[in-house]
Amino acid sequence: MVSLLRTQRKRTEKLHGSRDSTRRRSHDLAALPCCSPAERLQKRQENQKYQTTYPRILLMNNRTLYDEEVPPFPFAGLEEKHIGQHCLALSSALETPLEFTTTAALMAVSAAANGGLSVETISGLTTNSNLFSIQALPSGAGKTMVYEKLFQPHADFEANYQAAFRSDTLPQIEARLKLTERKIDKLSRPTDEGESHQLLDELSALYKEQKELKRKSLVPRFLAEDTTPESLEVLLADYGSIDLNSSDARKLIKNLAGEGRRGSRTEEDVLLKGFSGDRTKVDRISRDSVSSHQGGSLSMSLTVQNDLITKLYSNESLSESGLLGRILPLQFFPESAPSPTPFSGDLNHFQKCYADQLNPILHTYRTASPGTYVVKVPTDVKQVMDLHRQQVQKKMAGEDDVIVQCMARWSEIAWKLALVLQVICFGVESHNHPLHIWCAQRAIQIVEWFGIQQRLCLENAVSQSVSSKLQSIEALLCDAANGHVSSRDVQRRMKINAAEVSRLVSLSDGRLELFELESSGGRPMKMLRLAVK
């Protein structure tokens, strides 16, 4: 974590180029086919129309943490689609950042297809269109209103599907279940004939049928909001694909980060399995076992306030597990909010067009079993995606471990994003068309843009963590009677090691000093004190 603070400018230039090359952000895509220099220039100019000004995140003493301008979200091309037009209308009418509404819209489309649409990647593995995203905005930024608009078709679809199930399907299942239970009851009565192999076989078959009918009698679920990791395990095992979305996920994030648990144990395992589509098999003493015969597919889109995403990215366990690398983050601050743009259109019209496009997608892909619809990948798209994977691997060399863990997922996320863009372009006919090269190229650009967001969130979390620890050390020194404390005492009180103490001193801008104090009959003691100005 040290190099995140000490060499951020050098790493930034390595990953994103110098200040001049930052303005030419798409230089890494120059080798991609079907994209001439004139076309790239036009796209860059179009993207500038949608740019939101980001603040520079500062360390203590006003040192710039991230010294490059963040490029605009690669929105160009989406404004031609109904969903892109809806994003522009929402941002203007609700005065919310376009990056936020566009990210939420991508997540909404991802949730609409979820595990029902997949693509075979270069390595031969299959991945679905499910994505993870956490967006952090200040209070009053319009999070709830945007989510209500973008995820309303999902809620309506689930409600209508459940109503039809209760009225048409469930009565038949319950009737069959009742008959099966009567047969079991009749065969279970004691007789003079004694037990026979035929009787045991009949009862075994009936119990198996009873169990299957009870499973089928579960009312279909597609959505989850205020849930615990344990409940999410059950939902994925029972229903296969779940869309987890919330416009106020404070409690959910705290549960995920392990707050209130013994030892602050994090609970990200179910999210890791849901992202990759792994099978769920969980055994607990205190509750029933959870098992799924096939992997579940989880899409996740959450919004929180800025303090919580900083806490999330400060959690080393979540970083080491690889969860943070699977999340597309977005963090806004009050001073980065765009100026309101007058809106004179009919938002209801845009909402209807958006719902009309999303409803067929939900009916086609959301209820499909995994592997039902697979998008084929032509050779030129495979070349584009493979080139991007190779470029990312080169960039990973010499990077900090926490950044590498994020970059290692960029290629997989690019495939998922390409599927989402394919759905935006072709709707319910997505599986009948080969993966379009525009979808692949734009997915790569979006992943690179979110890669900058990942770095910002990580570096901001590190800077705040360092600042908090330095303030705690200064408080200890101010309370000390002689103006200094031992390094060992600092380690004991703050639960850190000697290397961490030395690191914090080196990052204090000369405000702290580490010196040795002679002791009688022993080795010198390492002490800390405030630097004399």
Phi-psi region of 349 (alpha: psi -120 to 50; beta: other; left: phi over 0): alpha
- Which amino acid would we find at residue 234? V
Token duo for residue 533: 């100005």
Cα dihedral sign for 497, 500, 501, 502? positive
Token duo for residue 109: 């489309």
* Domain 480-530 class, CATH top level: mainly alpha
pLDDT band at 150 (very low <50, low <70, confident <90, very high): very high
Q: What is the pLDDT of residue 335?
A: 54
Q: What is the pLDDT of residue 34?
A: 45
What is the Rg, in whole angstroms, of the alpha carbon atoms belonging to the chain? 27
| For residue 445, pLDDT beyond 90 | yes
Predicted confidence (pLDDT) per residue in 34-67, tens digit: 445 555 456 555 555 544 433 333 332 233 334 4
Average pLDDT value over all residues in the chain: 80
Token duo for residue 400: 């900090």
Q: What is the pLDDT of residue 1?
A: 45
Report which of residues 467 and 58 the model is more confident about: 467
Give the residue range(s) of CATH 1.10.10.10 domains in the chain: 480-530
Q: What is the pLDDT of residue 291?
A: 52
CA nearest to 375, candidates 80, 81, 116, 130: 116
The end-to-end CA distance of the chain, in Å, is 29
| For residue 22, pLDDT beyond 80 | no
Which percentage of the chain shows pLDDT scores above 70?
78
192-196, 212-216, 476-480: least confident range? 192-196
User: Cβ contacts of residue 396 below 8 Å, gap of 6+?
Assistant: 404, 407, 408
Quote the Cα angle for 79-82-87, to 5°: 60
Q: What is the pLDDT of residue 521?
A: 66
Predicted confidence (pLDDT) per residue in 498-519, tens digit: 888 888 888 888 888 888 887 7
Cβ–Cβ under 8 Å, residues 221 and 238: yes
CA nearest to 420, candidates 99, 156, 126, 118: 118
Q: For residue 62, give the 3-state DSSP assignment.
A: helix
Give the highest mean pLDDT range of 9-18, 64-73, 191-200.
191-200
Distances in Å between the Cα of 123 and the Cα atoms of 119, 126, 233, 275, 329 are 11, 9, 28, 18, 26
| For residue 465, pLDDT beyond 70 | yes
Predicted confidence (pLDDT) per residue in 319-363, tens digit: 888 899 999 999 886 555 555 566 777 889 999 999 999 999 999
Average pLDDT over residues 436-454: 95
Own/partner pairs, 470-475, CB within 8 angstroms, 24+ separation:
470/60, 470/504, 470/507, 470/508, 470/511, 470/512, 473/504, 473/512, 473/528, 474/511, 474/512, 474/530
DSSP letter at 523 equals: P
> What is the β-pairing status of strands 281-282 and 290-291?
antiparallel
Average pLDDT over residues 188-210: 77
Cβ–Cβ under 8 Å, residues 412 and 127: yes
List, in sequence order, the alpha helices (H) in 70-151.
82-94, 98-113, 143-150
DSSP letter at 26 equals: G
| For residue 15, pLDDT beyond 90 | no
Report which of residues 275 and 296 the model is more confident about: 275
